């Protein structure tokens, strides 16, 4: 039988220890554990005091925990408050931005005479500001009152509000221009031209030219060739580029054209690269690309067992940069060439082949159409005539563009550039070209009786001026007005794009008789209304403009009514009337490449007539001409 465990005798004293587990006391202060139960011993202090101390300790711990919790919650609340505040700021900014955008739209509609839409925009801004911000948008009450007053009185869209909008846009553009922000300047200045083309015309053109040229050169330096070429083309449409910029533009355009032919037409790509290499062998990577093009084209020809042409490509690559592997390919191709029966290279054209070719053209049933196409093999533009009757095409001249037929289609006037620039005429025979005017000219057009020609050229101060001269070149040219893109109607009226004598009112003008001093009549109000072509009955002018942000084709009748004929996100322009007025031809890049299209006079039944290739350099300054 195991004896029961007896509790140790209770002991009191100054240094007694007490067991919290079993309550026993011990005198030895060195003990750490209770001999009775093994519990931890503590100094013997009065139980009440010990309880208070323990309770205080717990309270202190709870207090600290509570304070810590409060601090954490406070920090979280602060963060939430800051986040709510920041979110509120961002939301307020979004609302302000939205209001600004709709207010600007309202001003635009007001300037264009769309008063009901303008009023709706202003009222939306007013409600948005009051509902979301509890405030009144600055100037909104005045804008609403103005829109309502215009609705009641019905003022002309060319009223003071349109002028005010042009002033505001011009000032924004000028400020951006002076700050070196060309993208913003271009957008604002184009907007100003839309509202009032006559406002600060020269200053606007000067700033636009500077910005287009500056941005184009900067983009060239940044290897953004597509945009660079586009900007420089628009600069050239305002005034001729300086020689250095013109050279850079031409090289970039040639390089881009070669890229577009890369892998699709090796012969064309190589011709362009060789042209560029001859002019500037260190231009970008043209040397590397030319070598690679020769080798790749040689490999392709070798796969088709076209050994002789393949050997020629390998030889050209080795001449540019020697490589053992390519030389082995050349030797093998040369041996195979000597053993094989020669076959003509697909797509090649000998210089002895006649320029006339047979080509089926759908939808082209009357007359003959003069047009310009870029010839990669020559690195230049060529003037062609395509005939509806025999389905044939003839090249009239190289380095030529801007064709214009006389009324019966027996003579063709055009512009020649290169070594012998000027105005030329021909009876259709490529060997019979007669120079009428030498130097820089633009867009010749025949008088109704075929005895005179009008054209545009810079005067002594560099301002584009319309001149008239005898068709045989006799006599001196006579200036009739400031402008460009002249077009002579069958009924004697001479139309052109320009401004009045004050320089404030611009657009398409029609002079019913350019031989008398009577001022012309303005038909449109945009300096960018260009590419003029009279209908055969003399009642309409077809033209192109960029009102919508890209180029579209329009018509305006002699009383001023305007009709939009094309609605496409691509570029459409350079209209030409069929001799019988049954159709319009125009240029477009809507299918990813340039081509000539046909449509009815009302804009319906648009379809492609001819392909012009992936590149159409300086297309804004070209022209189509259709004759019987």
Task: For residue 308, give its domain range.
Answer: 246-339
Same domain, 329 and 368: no
Where the chain has pLDDT below 50, the residues are 1-15, 45-56, 84, 155-156, 158, 341-360
CA-closest candidate to residue 334, choices 371, 307, 362: 307
Same domain, 304 and 378: no
Final residue belonging to a domain, choices 308, 339, 370: 339
Same domain, 333 and 481: no
The DSSP-derived string for 238-286 is HSPPPHHHHHHHHHHHHHHHHHHHTTT-HHHHHHHHHHHHHH-TTSTTH
Could you tell me if residue 100 is inside a domain?
no
- Distance spanning both ends of the chain, measured CA to CA: 140
Q: Which strands sit side by side in the sheet containing 442-446, from one edge to the other? A: 442-446, 452-458, 464-470, 478-488, 494-499, 506-511, 521-522
Query: What single-letter DSSP state applies at residue 621?
Result: G
Diameter over CA atoms, the chain: 153
d(CA 558, CA 577): 16
Same domain, 478 and 533: yes
d(CA 411, CA 627): 10
Q: What CATH number is associated with residue 546?
A: 2.120.10.30
Q: Domain count for the chain, please give it.
A: 2
Same domain, 316 and 375: no
Which token pair is 423?
């105005």
Could you tell me if residue 8 is inside a domain?
no
Could you tell me if residue 250 is inside a domain?
yes
Could you tell me if residue 278 is inside a domain?
yes
Q: Are 93 and 132 in contact (CB under 8 A)?
A: no
Same domain, 276 and 377: no
Q: What is residue 306's three-state secondary structure?
A: coil
Could you tell me if residue 39 is inside a domain?
no
CA-closest candidate to residue 405, choices 415, 417, 414, 416: 414
Q: Are 232 and 249 in contact (CB under 8 A)?
A: yes
d(CA 457, CA 479): 10
Same domain, 279 and 375: no
Same domain, 453 and 310: no
E strand or H helix at 231: helix 225-238
Q: What CATH number is associated with residue 314?
A: 1.25.40
Report the pLDDT value the prediction gives residue 291, as an integer from 0 to 100.
Answer: 92
- Per the listing, tokens 């221009």 go with 177
Report the pLDDT value the prediction gives residue 40, as an integer from 0 to 100.
Answer: 55
Report the pLDDT value the prediction gives residue 353, as an integer from 0 to 100.
Answer: 29
Query: What single-letter DSSP state applies at residue 399?
Result: S
Q: Which residues, at least 6 apart from 468, have a Cβ–Cβ distance to it below 8 Å?
A: 447, 452, 453, 454, 477, 478, 480, 514
d(CA 404, CA 531): 12
Same domain, 371 and 262: no
Tell me the pLDDT tens digit for each residue of 326-356: 888 988 888 887 775 433 333 223 222 233 3
d(CA 70, CA 357): 92
Evaluated on CA atoms 548, 571, 216, 226, the torsion sign reads positive
Could you tell me if residue 78 is inside a domain?
no
Same domain, 396 and 500: yes
Final residue belonging to a domain, choices 287, 313, 339: 339
Q: Which strands sit side by side in the sheet containing 368-375, from one edge to the other? A: 357-358, 392-398, 380-387, 368-375, 625-627
Could you tell me if residue 537 is inside a domain?
yes
Report the pLDDT value the prediction gives residue 46, as an integer from 0 to 100.
Answer: 46
Same domain, 491 and 551: yes
Could you tell me if residue 209 is inside a domain?
no
Q: Are 120 and 110 in contact (CB under 8 A)?
A: no
Q: Which strands sit side by side in the sheet containing 433-438, from one edge to the other? A: 400-405, 412-416, 422-426, 433-438
Report the pLDDT value the prediction gives residue 384, as an integer from 0 to 100.
Answer: 92
Which token pair is 388?
């509806």
Final residue belonging to a domain, choices 286, 311, 339: 339
587-594 contacts, C-beta under 8 A, 24 or more apart = 587/612, 587/616, 587/619, 587/622, 587/624, 589/616, 594/619
Report the pLDDT value the prediction gives residue 508, as an integer from 0 to 100.
Answer: 93
Tell me the pLDDT tens digit for each residue of 20-61: 666 676 666 655 556 666 555 555 544 433 444 444 455 555
Same domain, 329 and 383: no
């Amino acid at each position: 039988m195991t004896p029961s465990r007896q509790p140790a005798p209770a002991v009191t004293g100054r240094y007694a220890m007490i067991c919290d587990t079993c309550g026993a006391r011990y005198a030895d202060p060195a003990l750490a554990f209770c001999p009775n139960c093994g519990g931890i011993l503590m100094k013997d202090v009065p139980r009440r005091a010990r309880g208070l101390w323990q309770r205080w300790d717990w309270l202190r711990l709870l207090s600290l925990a509570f304070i810590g919790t409060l601090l954490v919650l406070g920090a979280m609340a602060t963060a939430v408050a800051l986040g709510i505040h920041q979110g509120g700021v961002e939301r307020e900014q979004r609302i302000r931005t939205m209001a600004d955008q709709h207010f600007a739209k309202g001003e635009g509609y007001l300037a264009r005479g769309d008063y009901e839409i303008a009023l709706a925009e202003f009222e939306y801004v007013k409600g948005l500001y009051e509902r979301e911000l509890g405030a009144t948008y600055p100037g909104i009450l005045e804008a609403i009152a103005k829109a309502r007053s215009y609705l009641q009185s019905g003022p002309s869209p060319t009223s003071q509000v349109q002028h005010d909008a042009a002033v505001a846009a011009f000032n924004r553009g000028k400020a951006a221009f002076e700050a070196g922000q060309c993208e913003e300047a271009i957008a604002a200045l184009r907007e100003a031209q839309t509202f009032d083309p006559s406002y600060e015309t020269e200053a606007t053109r000067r700033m636009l030219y500077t910005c287009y040229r500056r941005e184009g050169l900067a983009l060239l330096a940044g290897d953004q060739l597509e945009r660079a070429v586009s900007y420089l083309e628009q600069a050239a449409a305002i005034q001729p580029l300086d020689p250095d910029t013109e050279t850079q533009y031409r090289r970039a355009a040639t390089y881009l054209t070669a890229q577009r032919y890369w892998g699709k037409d090796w012969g064309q790509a190589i011709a362009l690269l060789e042209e560029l290499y001859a002019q500037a062998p260190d231009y970008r990577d043209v040397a590397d690309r030319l070598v690679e093009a020769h080798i790749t084209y040689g490999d392709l020809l070798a796969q088709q067992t076209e050994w002789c042409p393949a050997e020629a490509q390998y030889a050209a690559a080795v001449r540019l940069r020697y490589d053992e592997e390519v030389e082995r390919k050349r030797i093998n191709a040369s041996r195979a060439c000597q053993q094989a029966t020669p076959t003509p290279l697909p797509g090649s054209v000998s210089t002895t082949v006649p320029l006339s070719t047979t080509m089926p053209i759908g939808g082209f049933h009357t007359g003959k159409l003069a047009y310009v196409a870029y010839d990669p093999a020559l690195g230049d533009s060529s003037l062609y005539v395509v005939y509806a009757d025999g389905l044939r095409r003839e090249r009239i001249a190289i380095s030529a563009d801007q064709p214009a037929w006389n009324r019966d289609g027996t003579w063709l006037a055009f512009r020649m550039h290169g070594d012998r620039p000027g105005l030329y005429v021909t009876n259709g025979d490529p060997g019979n070209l007669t120079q009428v005017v030498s130097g820089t000219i633009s867009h010749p057009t025949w008088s109704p009786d075929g005895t005179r020609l009008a054209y545009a050229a810079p005067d002594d101060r560099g301002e584009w001026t319309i001149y008239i001269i005898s068709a045989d070149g006799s006599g001196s040219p006579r200036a009739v007005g400031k402008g460009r893109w002249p077009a002579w109607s069958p009924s004697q009226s001479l139309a052109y794009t320009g401004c009045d004598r004050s320089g404030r009112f611009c657009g398409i003008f029609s002079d019913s008789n350019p031989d008398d001093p009577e001022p012309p009549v303005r038909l449109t109000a945009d300096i960018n209304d260009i590419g003029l072509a009279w209908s055969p009955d003399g009642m309409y002018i077809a033209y192109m403009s960029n009102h919508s942000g890209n180029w579209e084709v329009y018509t305006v009748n002699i009383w001023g009514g305007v009709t939009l004929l094309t609605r496409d996100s691509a570029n459409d322009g350079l209209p030409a009337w069929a001799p019988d007025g049954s159709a319009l031809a125009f240029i477009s890049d809507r299918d990813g490449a340039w081509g000539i299209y046909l449509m009815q006079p009302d804009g319906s039944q648009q379809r492609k007539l001819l392909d012009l290739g992936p590149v159409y350099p300086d297309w804004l300054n070209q022209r189509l001409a259709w004759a019987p």
